Amino acid sequence: MDGGPNAAQVEFWNEAGGRAWAKSHEALEQQILTLGEVAITALAPMPGERVLDIGCGAGATSLALAEAVGPAGRVVGVDVSRPLLAIAERRGAAVPNLRFVEADAQTHGFDHGGFDAAFSRFGVMFFADPVAALANIRVALRPGGRLAFVCWRGLPENGWMHVPLAAAMPLLPPMPAPDPEAPGPFAFANCGRVEAILGAAGFQEVAIRPHDSEIGGNDLATTMALLLKVGPIGAVLREAPELAPKVEEAVADALAPYVRNNEIWLPGAVWIVTARA
């Protein structure tokens, strides 16, 4: 697909980053399963509704939404990542009210008013122009149509990334300070910014509430494999694999206090956001 304004994200999610996520999608989905469920509850999909799933990834939320709207409804999952969509299409092949589209939701020509609701589990923080993207999603909704999504709060509140990253940082090359508003997992950490984006995109009745929950559920080996392949640590180690042994030791030590019943559970902090077109 043409990269367009989100060319860097399209490249990332179709190359090394997307392939790493695809290989680990089951373990990654286990970590954030309950957060997606909370956001789906906030959306409250009803039988017969048409729902758009933004940044659907490997399709887990699309499948849950398709079950919620039933055979009279329909769900369309949209993502830029061909590696993840390939998994989603296999998983949804036998679900008649579900289809997937490889497209950038910021620029895709959705049917105006074609959906009753739009949803996203951690898929709306990666747009180069979030106002334009959310405005395009709003156009896809009928008047009064609902939007619900879950996005991360700040890095310090999210132990699932902060704890291993703090342990690894002394062993990694210096990293530039991130732009807090650049596309990425924590781009919507500021709830005031989120409210302003949605307002500028034409949404009304915006509601943003915090939700805190331990996330994880994978054993230590699986969690370590994720951290060394996905996210900022994984990105560095793909370029400097010789650092992996020392980083692995430091991260494993940092995670030790978070083991419960042979599973790793770390703090997660998100916003649950709802609005109407």
The pTM of the full predicted model, rounded to 2 decimals, is 0.95
- Among 113-117, 159-163, 225-229, 249-253, where is mean pLDDT lowest? 225-229
Q: Is residue 189 part of a domain?
A: yes
Residue 100 contacts residue 77 (beta carbons within 8 Å): yes
Residue 125 contacts residue 270 (beta carbons within 8 Å): no
Q: Is residue 230 part of a domain?
A: no
* pLDDT score of 229: 85
Query: What is the per-residue pLDDT across 78-90, written as a single tens digit (0 to 9) for each?
Result: 999 999 999 999 9
CATH of the domain at 67: 3.40.50.150
State which residues form the domain around 35.
Answer: 4-154+178-217+268-276
> Distance between CA atoms of 165 and 148, rounded to whole angstroms?
29
Q: Is residue 241 part of a domain?
A: no
Our count of domains for the chain comes to 1
Q: Is residue 135 part of a domain?
A: yes
Q: Is residue 259 part of a domain?
A: no
**Of the candidates 204, 184, 201, which has an alpha carbon nearest to the alpha carbon of residue 133?**
201
**Of the candidates 37, 111, 89, which has an alpha carbon nearest to the alpha carbon of residue 68?**
37
> Residue 158 CB: number of other CB atoms within 10 A?
22
- The tokens of 240 are what? 């400097």
Query: What is the per-residue pLDDT across 182-213, written as a single tens digit (0 to 9) for each?
Result: 999 999 999 999 999 999 999 999 999 999 99
Share of the chain above pLDDT 70, in %: 99
Q: Is residue 145 part of a domain?
A: yes
Q: What is the DSSP letter of 108?
A: -
Q: Is residue 21 part of a domain?
A: yes
pLDDT at 3 over 70: no
pLDDT at 2 over 70: no
Q: Is residue 228 part of a domain?
A: no
Name 268's Cβ contacts closer than 8 Å, sequence gap at least 6: 32, 35, 158, 159, 160, 212, 213, 214, 215
Q: Where would I find the H helices in the chain?
A: 7-14, 16-23, 25-43, 60-69, 82-91, 130-139, 159-168, 191-200, 220-229, 231-239, 244-255
Query: What is the per-residue pLDDT across 46-102, written as a single tens digit (0 to 9) for each?
Result: 999 999 999 999 999 999 999 999 999 999 999 999 999 999 999 999 999 999 999
* pLDDT score of 230: 82
Residue 138 contacts residue 203 (beta carbons within 8 Å): yes
